[in-house]
Amino acid sequence: MTDNATHAGHSLPLKFFTNRPNYHWYVVATVCIGAFMAALDGSIITVALPTIDREFNVNVSASAWVALAYLLTLTALLAMFGRIADIVGRRPLYTIGFTIFIIGSALCGAAPTLGLLIGFRVLQGIGATMLQANSVAIVTAAVPEKVRGKAIGIQGSALAVGLSLGPAIGGLLIGLFGWRSIFYVNVPVGIIGTTLAAMILPIDLHKDASAKSNFDYIGALLLAITLIAFLLGLNQGNDDGWGSPTIIGYFISTAVFAILFYFQERRHPAPLIDLSLFKIEQLTWGNITGALSYGVMYGVLYIVPYFFEDVLRKPSSSSGLLTTPLPIGMMLLAPIAGKIADKLGSKLPTVAGMGIATLGTIALIFVNANTNLLYLIFALFFVGVGMGIFTPPNNSSVMGSTPRNRLGVSSGMLNMSRSLGQSLGIAYAFAIFQGVILLYHFTPKNAPVGPLIAGFKWTFIGVSIFGVAALFISLFRGNVAKVALPEEAKIVEV
């Protein structure tokens, strides 16, 4: 806990805030701005992709990288920036992260080409990673233990609200000002967030200089190359041909670098991923089902706007609003599911939640140009409700089966599996969608309604397979009665 003496000799943070008895809630509010923005930018892009396709005259596999670049950056760098924060301090890294996020957002809005837009999304993702890697740690250090769980829950709620409002806000902004506005809107909000962070966040008194030499930088690089090579192969297979030397090369590279990553993690004293933890069955299956579940969610979330705009001919503003039932369903049910898991254990809610989410995805298989909007809304809501019921107890089962001295490592692995599932779901869904339409000798840009419907049908079938796999794993794995520590479980609920 930071007290008044902590800040002696420093002009920042301001004594106006630090001398207040409720100073820690100012810290929580400041951190929530960053959490909200990082989550918002992960979902706001969903409704912009069809418009970006038309703006730059590219296919869906190319524009998908606008989303993938951001998520891959989070996946590859989250652990690294968490460790860097221990070395240089959380306050400076958080403030710098906000600044990078603002610059990246402004550059994204001004990007003249798709290639530059993707590059600037990486920059934006670096800033977002610096925010996400630090937010829970800042809250944990600043808030008294008796209200720490509540504070972390509020931070998680900010993430959930950002995820939920992204499509609606994005659709509204695109309808009024064009797709570039979804990036420009970050600039004024980010400036406010950066200013508040400088004025309020506490000075770091304890830094770990030894972490600099212990961090697994080679492992982080090998993991990033493995993920990028795999997603490039999955994303470009339809364009280059699945049997082409380029695509085969991507997948061979994936295997080679994955093997190198495995041996690097085995030999490193402080590995990026502690492979010994995978001996714990609940932890292993929980990470796998978590990745599959987010593959379902993001596969649906990113492909549905194309259905609304290209088949139902809805404008971006309507498309954004029509997509929100999914994240809203998740946001509404997640707190209830956590309480159920505390009383009944993890198995029942994970099975029920994944079953409901899978049923919602299966319902989407039968949509066509004449489908009633209420049917679509309820199907998306079911997916979100299922995810809301599934995610907290699944995360709790992972954290509850983790040795207490490895909770931080396990939490990082769980967040990494989530980001990986998100990236995989997007690439997988777009690969199926484009591949099916190409079989009809069209592209998604010029395809009539018939091939488009076929593309959506097989995409939802493919995504449903993820859901069925997660459901069966949840059904046959064991049960964990309660989490190891409540506040640690809440860190990864969203």
Q: What is the pLDDT of residues 91-120, one digit of tens each?
A: 888 889 999 999 999 999 999 999 999 999
| Count of structural domains within the chain | 2
Q: Is 368 left (phi over 0), alpha (psi -120 to 50) or beta?
A: beta
Q: What is the pLDDT of residue 149?
A: 62
Mean pLDDT of 189-201: 88
User: Is there a domain that residue 242 lies in?
Assistant: no
Q: What is the pLDDT of residues 241-264, one digit of tens each?
A: 888 899 999 999 999 999 999 999
Cα–Cα separations (whole angstroms), residue 289 to 122, 198, 249, 390: 27, 39, 29, 10
Cα–Cα separations (whole angstroms), residue 320 to 112, 180, 302, 419, 434: 24, 15, 11, 22, 22
What residue numbers bound the domain in which 2 lies? 1-214
> Are 287 and 428 contained in the same domain?
yes
User: Is there a domain that residue 226 lies in?
Assistant: no
Phi, psi of 146 (to 5 degrees): -70, -20
Q: How far apart are CA 331 and CA 201, in angstroms?
A: 28
> Are 193 and 327 contained in the same domain?
no
Residue 309 has pLDDT above 50, yes or no: yes
Q: Are the C-beta atoms of 29 and 151 separated by less than 8 Å?
A: no
Residue 8 has pLDDT above 80, yes or no: no
> Are 31 and 152 contained in the same domain?
yes
> Are 33 and 161 contained in the same domain?
yes
User: Is there a domain that residue 240 lies in?
Assistant: no
pLDDT bin (cut points 50, 70, 90) of residue 277 is: confident
Q: Which of 194, 214, 234 is the last residue of a domain?
A: 214
For residue 139, the Cα-to-chain-centroid distance in whole angstroms is 20
Mean pLDDT of 453-471: 96
Residue 13 has pLDDT above 70, yes or no: no
- Tokens representing 46 are 């969903």
Mean pLDDT of 415-420: 82
Q: Which of 167, 192, 214 is the last residue of a domain?
A: 214
User: Is there a domain that residue 83 lies in?
Assistant: yes
Q: Which of 175, 196, 214 is the last residue of a domain?
A: 214
Q: How far apart are CA 73 and CA 70, in angstroms?
A: 5
Q: What is the pLDDT of residues 219-229, one digit of tens each?
A: 888 988 998 88
Q: How far apart are CA 200 and CA 154, in angstroms?
A: 18
The CATH number given to whatever domain includes residue 32 is 1.20.1250.20
SS3 477: coil
Q: Taking all residues of the chain, what is their mean pLDDT, rounded to a whole number?
A: 83
Question: CA 370, 322, 418 angle in degrees (round to 5)?
Answer: 115
> Are 318 and 427 contained in the same domain?
yes
Q: Are the C-beta atoms of 169 and 311 separated by less than 8 Å?
A: no
Which of 21-35, 132-146, 166-180 is predicted with the least confidence, judged by mean pLDDT?
A: 132-146
> Are 458 and 357 contained in the same domain?
yes
> Are 82 and 196 contained in the same domain?
yes
